[in-house]
Amino acid sequence: MKPDNTSKYAANRFSIAPMLDWTDRHCRYFHRLLTNETLLYTEMVTTGAIIHGKGDFLAYNQEEHPVALQLGGSNPQDLATCAKLAAERGYDEINLNVGCPSDRVQNGRFGACLMGEPQLVADCVAAMRDVVDIPVTVKTRIGIDDQDSYEFLTDFVSIVSEKGGCEQFTIHARKAWLSGLSPKENREIPPLDYPRAYQLKKDFSHLVIAVNGGVKTLQETKEHLQHLDGVMVGREAYQNPYILAEVDQQIFGLDTPIKKRSQVVEEMYPYIEQQLSKGAYLGHITRHMLGLFQNMPGARQWRRYISENAHKPGSGIEVVEAALAKIPKELDV
């Protein structure tokens, strides 16, 4: 059966997770060349950065659509101000970060610690929904510290959906320890509990529920989609981006041709040239492409050539061309 791609939440069937310092706009442009349908999340952007920061924290390329802005914050008015700006700029969704456990984020009283303040999260979502027409969604964990019962999660989801009006949740299916573990450890040590996310969908069947955490293949994605509305993939999509090349076909049911890796590299050239002409550094773009040939002969040479040359002053497209030439042509499939 072909999936229904027409619902306003259809893109959420498969998404790439918000990842600070990784899913910047260069990365998202690159990922978009691999998959047309996947929903792309920005890195978390704090309300403070948007409201007080120097620079344009909402900049993105039009090619990235559908693209969701992830906000970090807990002041309803500030979040509403940022959501409105983002909607005016054309973002397709606003997502609130209720999953990040870093100390810096906790000091700002946002991220995963907000799981302990569901009424505040509801107020934040309601304030944003009041001022935008696009979906306002929440990304969260299954618990924090010792508050890790199923009831804790359902209380959170009940309050945020009923009082805040949130219709969609992405559940990173492990809890977070707010102290004692680094953010990296908090993505690895607490065990994954997918059945809990499945149960949540059963108990809140009217909500759109996506799962996140530890998904590495499209086969696993399809299995989760038997139980849930969506799957969000983070590290694997970044480190092994070619898994994205068959998402449109396998997950969204399209019959568009699957691109070769070299084609994706070549399609990056005009973008790279345009960005370099605006003052970007080659290495800031190519760093997201290093994993494209993962597990292929020549992958190490590709990676090494780019790593050693892309940061040199004046480096341009020729560095990428030379790196691509390291890949045996007959193996570029």
Ligand X SMILES: Cc1cc2nc3c(=O)[nH]c(=O)nc-3n(C[C@H](O)[C@H](O)[C@H](O)COP(=O)(O)O)c2cc1C
Q: Which of residues 88-107 bind ligand X (CB under 6 A)?
A: 97, 99-100
Q: Judge whether 166 counts as a catalytic residue.
A: no
Which backbone phi and psi does 140 adopt, to 5 degrees?
A: -140, 180
Closest distance between ligand X and the C-beta of residue 96, in Å?
A: 9
Give the helix/strand (H/E) hosting 121.
helix 118-131
Rg (alpha carbons) of the chain, rounded to whole number = 20
Q: Is 234 in the site for ligand X (CB under 6 A)?
A: yes
Spatial CA neighbour of 239 closest among 26, 11, 27: 27
Q: Write phi, then psi, for 41 (nearest 5 degrees).
A: -100, 145
Stretch that binds ligand X, among 155-163, 231-239, 271-279, 282-290 (CB under 6 A): 231-239
- Residue ranges at the known binding site for FMN: 18-20, 70, 139, 172, 212-214, 234-235
Max alpha carbon distance in the chain (Å)? 58
Catalytic position from the list 100, 113, 124, 166 = 100
Pick from 12, 13, 15, 19: which binds ligand X (CB under 6 A)? 19
Exactly one of 3, 10, 20, 108 binds ligand X (CB under 6 A); that residue is 20
Q: Which of residues 178-207 bind ligand X (CB under 6 A)?
A: 187
Q: Please, which residue, 234 or 291, has the CB nearer to ligand X?
A: 234
Pick one of 15, 38, 137, 212: the residue that binds ligand X (CB under 6 A): 212
Binding ligand X (rule: CB under 6 A), the pick from 39, 233, 306, 320 is 233
Separation of alpha carbons 73 and 124, rounded Å:
9
| Residue 209 sits in the site that holds ligand X (CB under 6 A) | no
Of residues 19 and 290, the one with the C-beta less far from ligand X: 19
Give the span between the Cα atoms of 333 and 329, in whole angstroms: 9
The residues that bridge with 93 in the sheet, in sequence order, are 68
- Please, are residues 172 and 186 in contact by the beta-carbon 8 Å criterion? no
295 Ramachandran zone, left/alpha/beta (phi>0; psi -120 to 50):
left
Q: Which of 24, 37, 43, 229 binds ligand X (CB under 6 A)?
A: 43
Q: Which residue has the tokens 């969701």?
A: 68
Q: C-beta of 89: minimal distance to ligand X in Å?
A: 19
Residue closest to ligand X when measured from CB atoms: 234
Closer of 213 and 298 to ligand X (Cβ): 213
> Does residue number 288 form part of the binding site for ligand X (CB under 6 A)?
no
Binding mask 136-175 for ligand X (x = CB under 6 A): ---x--------------------------------x---
Q: How many angstroms separate the CA atoms of 183 and 65, rounded?
A: 29
Which residues in 173-261 belong to E strands, given as ranges?
Answer: 208-212, 230-233
Count of residues near ligand X by CB under 6 A: 23
The C-alpha atoms of residue 275 and residue 62 are separated, in whole angstroms, by 14
Torsion of the alpha carbons at 141, 197, 11 and 95, rounded to the nearest 10: -20
Q: Considering the rule CB under 6 A, would residue 214 count as an interface residue with ligand X?
A: yes
Coil/strand/helix, residue 193: coil
Residues making contact with ligand X (CB under 6 A): 17-22, 43-44, 70, 97, 99-100, 139, 172, 187, 212-215, 233-236
Q: Among all residues, which ones are annotated catalytic?
A: 100
